[in-house]
């Protein structure tokens, strides 16, 4: 069974019929992605939690392109990966973006165009991760396409190259891939590693039990003509680098079957493993009875993230009850996919990268915006209260002149204390010709930068994330909106500062 989501890449994929011997060339790891506004995650019991121990439930989208464009000689991504496109994603109340990758492009294998592989590819991935994190969004890096000749049941292609979905990753390239990726992003636990997109080893080995054994142990698996990287080996590869990032592990049947996930769960010295589940209307486990019997027992023991969900009719009749069930389990989910392909194939969220939804996307967006804590697409307005001081963010003397540094003052309901978080991430004050934006002075990104009013420009220094932990962070720098010196006095100035978790960095809008 091939997902409808493969339509775009299958149509444009080049044919590669001869098996090739691939020499692994590991390039130097990219610069470590700095921890920023997004939550630093780890596992506690059966939940994902942040560094303060508060539960985190991820909701988001997949952003396809990085798995296929590079091996099709079409670049690295499919569509824009800039601040404007991330702002559009964020306006749907998205807190996580899953980014499919290709091991051959990351590892700089010989058959990939050098312009789209190795350090160029790695740095593009790191840049996008940093952009997501700076916008308060967790990045999930997914190993999507891998090497290895497979022509058995449900084969996606006959090529030895990483040009389609394989039943399991290959040991020759997947282990170096995860070692390199882990070295690149260790220390930033706002990045989650999804070890392999959609395993289906049971279709090759011939049974559930042999499929699960192959899934965990790898090596020589019946019906698969290459040495397999099992989940345990990939966990070991990541942990050998010292990385403690949360790891997602999808089950059999294209990550839809979790029936023996608890039994075959690999060992992990850090305890940071989460189950990955994919749920589409055309999957076998597509009813509440299956969810209750097969998925709920996994959720009872480990965090679970629904890495993909969707339906074949480009509607929302399947995903709505599914999301409601997952909400009841305090479990997160990400829809496939934030790309502008034809909705005729289903599972396409948008018609343009400003975020105009398809029918499927409209249902998904409406549900995300209905969740507790949503800013309603960025339209929340009201006083911005400094929790620690019990006062309000205030434009001094009700000035409408650009360049006034913000302060805190007794809440009085004045127009100079009324702010709106817009769909583009701005925090505006006043309206009409007098409207001004909160602005990081001169685009500076260092602790101590003053926060002022300024004419709205759409610049990155005027983009703000209102986070579930009460902080407000600059999308440009990841620094927190801070009452200087933790003062509680009227007139205390507001600036950007390293996020500390202090009450002087806690805010409530509305």
The tens digit of pLDDT for each residue in 174-206 reads: 999 999 999 999 999 999 999 999 999 999 999
N- to C-terminal Cα separation, the chain: 48
- To the question of pTM greater than 0.85 for the whole model, the response is no
**Token digits for 231?**
């989940």
Mean pLDDT of the 199-220 span = 98
Three-state SS for 289-335 is: HHHHHHHHHHHCCCCEEEEEEECCCCCCCCHHHHHHHHHHCCCEEEE
d(CA 493, CA 491): 6
Reported as a single tens digit per residue, the pLDDT across 278-300 is 999 999 999 999 999 999 999 99
**Token digits for 396?**
């001094």
Q: Which of 32-41, 186-195, 358-367, 483-492 has the lowest mean pLDDT?
A: 32-41
Q: Are strands 59-62 and 96-102 parallel, antiparallel or unpaired?
A: parallel
Q: Where are the domains of the chain?
A: 4-370, 381-509
Q: Determine contact, residues 337/346, Cβ cutoff 8 Å.
A: no
> How many residues does this entry show for the chain?
510
d(CA 499, CA 278): 35
| Percent of all residues in the chain with a pLDDT value above 70, rounded to a whole number | 91
pLDDT value of residue 380: 66
Closest CA to 479 of 93, 21, 35, 86: 35
Residue 62 pairs in a beta bridge with 98
Reported as a single tens digit per residue, the pLDDT across 442-466 is 999 999 999 999 999 888 899 898 8
CA distance to 56, 184, 366, 500, per residue, from 370 (Å) = 17, 36, 6, 30
pLDDT greater than 60 at residue 413: yes
Three-state secondary structure call for residue 231: helix
Q: Determine contact, residues 170/138, Cβ cutoff 8 Å.
A: no
| Percent of all residues in the chain with a pLDDT value above 90, rounded to a whole number | 78
Q: Determine contact, residues 203/154, Cβ cutoff 8 Å.
A: yes
pLDDT value of residue 161: 98
**Hey, which bits of 88-133 come out as E strands?**
96-102
Closest CA to 509 of 483, 471, 453: 471
Reported as a single tens digit per residue, the pLDDT across 63-94 is 999 999 999 999 999 999 999 999 999 999 89
Mean pLDDT of the 220-224 span = 98
The set of residues, in sequence order, having a beta carbon less than 8 Å from that of 243 and lying 6+ positions away, is 182, 183, 185, 186, 187
**Token digits for 447?**
């602790």
Mean pLDDT of the 337-359 span = 93
Decide which of 470 and 260 is more confident.
260
pLDDT value of residue 403: 96
Alpha helices (runs of H) in 329-375, residue ranges in sequence order: 359-370
**Token digits for 368?**
């995300």
pLDDT value of residue 303: 98
pLDDT greater than 50 at residue 31: no
Neighbours of 456 (CB within 10 A): 18
pLDDT greater than 50 at residue 1: no
Specify whether the backbone of 212 is left (phi greater than 0), alpha (psi in -120 to 50) or beta. Answer: alpha
Instruction: Evaluate the CA torsion angle 174, 345, 59, 499 in order and state its sign.
Output: positive
d(CA 140, CA 184): 14
Closest CA to 366 of 56, 90, 93: 93
For helices 208-217 and 231-239, the axis angle rounded to 10 degrees is 20
The mean pLDDT value of the chain amounts to 90
Instruction: Evaluate the CA torsion angle 257, 263, 264, 270 in order and state its sign.
Output: positive
CA distance to 204, 241, 293, per residue, from 35 (Å) = 41, 18, 38
pLDDT-derived band at 239 (thresholds 50, 70, 90) equals: very high
pLDDT-derived band at 16 (thresholds 50, 70, 90) equals: very low
pLDDT greater than 90 at residue 115: yes
The set of residues, in sequence order, having a beta carbon less than 8 Å from that of 198 and lying 6+ positions away, is 3, 165, 250, 254, 255, 278
d(CA 486, CA 390): 12
Neighbours of 369 (CB within 10 A): 16
pLDDT value of residue 53: 87
pLDDT-derived band at 414 (thresholds 50, 70, 90) equals: confident
d(CA 354, CA 341): 14
Architecture of domain 381-509: Trefoil (2.80)
d(CA 397, CA 400): 9
CATH code of 4-370, in short, is: 3.20.20.80
d(CA 331, CA 360): 21
């Amino acid at each position: 069974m091939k997902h409808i989501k493969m339509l775009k890449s299958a149509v444009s994929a080049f044919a590669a019929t001869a098996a090739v011997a691939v020499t692994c060339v590991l390039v130097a790891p990219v610069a470590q992605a700095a921890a920023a506004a997004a939550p630093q995650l780890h596992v506690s019991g059966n939940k994902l939690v942040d560094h303060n121990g508060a539960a985190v439930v991820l909701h988001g989208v997949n952003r396809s392109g990085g798995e296929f464009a590079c091996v099709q000689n079409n670049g690295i991504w499919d569509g824009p990966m800039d601040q404007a496109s991330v702002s559009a994603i964020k306006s749907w109340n998205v807190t996580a973006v899953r980014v499919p990758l290709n091991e051959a492009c990351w590892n700089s294998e010989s058959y990939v165009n050098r312009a789209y592989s190795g350090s160029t590819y790695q740095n593009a991935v790191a840049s996008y991760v940093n952009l997501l994190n700076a916008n308060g969004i967790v990045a999930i890096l997914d190993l999507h396409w891998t090497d290895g000749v497979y022509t058995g049941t449900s084969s996606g292609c006959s090529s030895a190259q990483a040009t389609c979905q394989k039943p399991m990753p290959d040991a020759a390239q997947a282990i170096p891939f995860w070692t390199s990726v882990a070295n690149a992003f260790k220390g930033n636990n706002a990045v989650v590693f999804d070890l392999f997109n959609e395993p289906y080893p049971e279709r090759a080995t011939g049974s559930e039990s042999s499929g699960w054994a192959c899934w965990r142990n790898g090596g020589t698996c019946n019906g698969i003509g290459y040495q397999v990287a099992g989940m345990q080996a990939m966990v070991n590869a990541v942990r050998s680098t010292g990385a403690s990032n949360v790891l997602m592990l999808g089950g059999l049947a294209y990550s839809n079957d979790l029936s023996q996930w608890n039994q075959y769960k690999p060992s992990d010295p850090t305890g940071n493993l989460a189950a990955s589940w994919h749920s589409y209307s055309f999957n076998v486990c597509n009813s509440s009875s299956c969810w209750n019997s097969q998925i709920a027992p996994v959720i009872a023991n480990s965090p679970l993230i629904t890495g993909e969900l969707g339906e074949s009719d480009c509607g929302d009749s399947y995903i709505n009850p599914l999301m409601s069930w997952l909400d009841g389990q305090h479990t997160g989910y990400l829809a496939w996919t934030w790309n502008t392909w034809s909705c005729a194939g289903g599972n396409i969220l948008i018609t343009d990268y400003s975020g105009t939804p398809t029918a499927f996307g409209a249902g998904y967006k409406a549900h995300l915006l209905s969740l507790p804590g949503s800013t309603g697409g960025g339209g929340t307005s009201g006083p911005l209260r400094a929790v620690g001081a019990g006062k309000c963010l205030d434009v001094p003397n009700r000035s409408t002149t650009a360049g006034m540094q913000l302060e805190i003052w007794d809440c009085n309901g004045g127009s100079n204390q009324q702010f709106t978080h817009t769909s583009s991430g701005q925090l505006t004050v006043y309206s009409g010709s007098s409207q001004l934006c909160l602005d990081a002075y001169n685009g500076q990104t260092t602790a101590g930068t003053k926060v002022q009013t300024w004419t709205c420009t759409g610049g990155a220094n005027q983009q703000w994330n209102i986070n579930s932990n009460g902080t407000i962070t600059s999308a440009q720098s990841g620094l927190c909106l801070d009452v200087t010196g933790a003062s509680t006095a009227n007139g205390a100035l507001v600036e950007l500062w390293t996020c500390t978790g202090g009450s002087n960095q806690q805010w409530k809008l509305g």
